[in-house]
């Protein structure tokens, strides 16, 4: 399928590694001009260079989205090359703490990093999209925002807020040609998740071998109908579809990519 992304400029936040990197790479392969975002120059530059060497078109911007000045820097650098038609809000952070170890300060920081950072970029890029008369606002959510568990309650609550703001934004964008949607992955096997599982293995008796750790983690902690962790490329494929004109009639939606992890309609 031709996703008709050639010439469209896309900013993917948090795309110097993990899920964001997979999204950036796929959109570039589909012809979009991708702006890689991160906080560490070497990592962002490495992704940019790899995309360009592979025949895609990419640049990078740096900045911390957890405060206004950092978001200003990222937006200004992204818009310097022309209007941005697609924003994929992916950057975020979490730590697997149980309830009573999550302080009020942790809750405040989590909301800032995982919700307000998204809002900052929407505020800065939406005016330009309205001038284009077409655009995409895509938030990366989580199955945990739909069906929360005990660990990391601050992050899960923040993720649920992402889902909610997406629908509110879709109502705001009525008639503009811009859509707003959430893609909610289940547990993904990215570097952060792998490191988290390795740290939890001893506590839950998952063994020492990685194959045993992954299998036991799926069975005991993140059960799903497919029987494995998701791949970043599988989420990227859904994001890519939502960016295309073929998805013009989809807005205010939450698309789960979780292997059947979420037990609800």
Report the alpha-carbon distance of residue 224 to residue 226 in Å, rounded.
Answer: 6
| Distance, C-alpha 70 to centroid of its chain | 18
Helix ranges (H only) for the chain are 18-29, 41-53, 68-79, 104-111, 117-132, 153-172, 191-204, 210-220, 232-243
**Of 60, 94, 118, 155, which is the active-site residue?**
155
Q: How far apart are the first and last CA of the chain?
A: 29
Q: Is 58 exposed, middle or buried (0-12, 13-18, 19+ CB in 10 A)?
A: buried
Report the alpha-carbon distance of residue 132 to residue 238 in Å, rounded.
Answer: 24
Instruction: Identify whether 111 is a catalytic site residue.
Output: no
Buried b (16+ CB within 10 A) or exposed e, 164-174: ebbbebbeebe
Asked whether the CA dihedral 224, 228, 229, 231 is positive or negative, the reply is negative
Contact 226, 14 (CB under 8 A): no
What 3-state class would DSSP assign to 247? Answer: helix
Tell me the pairing of strands 178-185 and 135-140: parallel
Contact 55, 31 (CB under 8 A): no
| Residues tagged active-site | 155
């Amino acid at each position: 399928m031709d996703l008709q992304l050639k010439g469209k400029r896309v900013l993917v936040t948090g795309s110097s590694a993990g899920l964001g990197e997979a999204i950036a790479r796929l959109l570039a392969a589909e012809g979009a001009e991708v702006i890689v975002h991160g906080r560490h120059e070497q990592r962002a530059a490495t992704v940019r260079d790899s995309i360009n060497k592979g025949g895609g078109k990419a640049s990078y911007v740096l900045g911390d989205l957890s405060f206004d000045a950092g978001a200003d820097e990222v937006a200004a650098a992204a818009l310097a090359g022309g209007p941005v038609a697609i924003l994929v809000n992916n950057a975020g952070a979490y730590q697997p703490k149980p309830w009573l170890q999550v302080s009020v300060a942790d809750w405040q920081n989590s909301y800032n990093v995982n919700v307000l950072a998204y809002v900052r970029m929407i505020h800065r890029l939406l005016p330009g999209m309205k001038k284009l008369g077409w655009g995409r606002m895509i938030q990366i959510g989580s199955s945990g925002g739909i069906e929360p568990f005990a660990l990391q309650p601050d992050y899960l609550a923040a993720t649920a807020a992402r889902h909610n703001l997406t629908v509110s934004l879709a109502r705001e964008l009525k008639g503009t040609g811009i859509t707003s949607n959430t893609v909610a992955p289940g547990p993904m096997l990215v570097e952060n998740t792998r490191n988290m599982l390795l740290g939890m293995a001893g506590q839950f008796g998952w063994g020492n071998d990685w194959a045993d750790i992954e299998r036991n983690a799926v069975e005991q902690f993140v059960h799903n109908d497919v029987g494995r962790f998701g791949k970043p490329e599988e989420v990227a494929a859904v994001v890519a579809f939502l960016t295309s004109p073929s998805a013009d009639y989809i807005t205010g939606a939450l698309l789960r990519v979780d292997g059947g992890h979420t037990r609800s309609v």
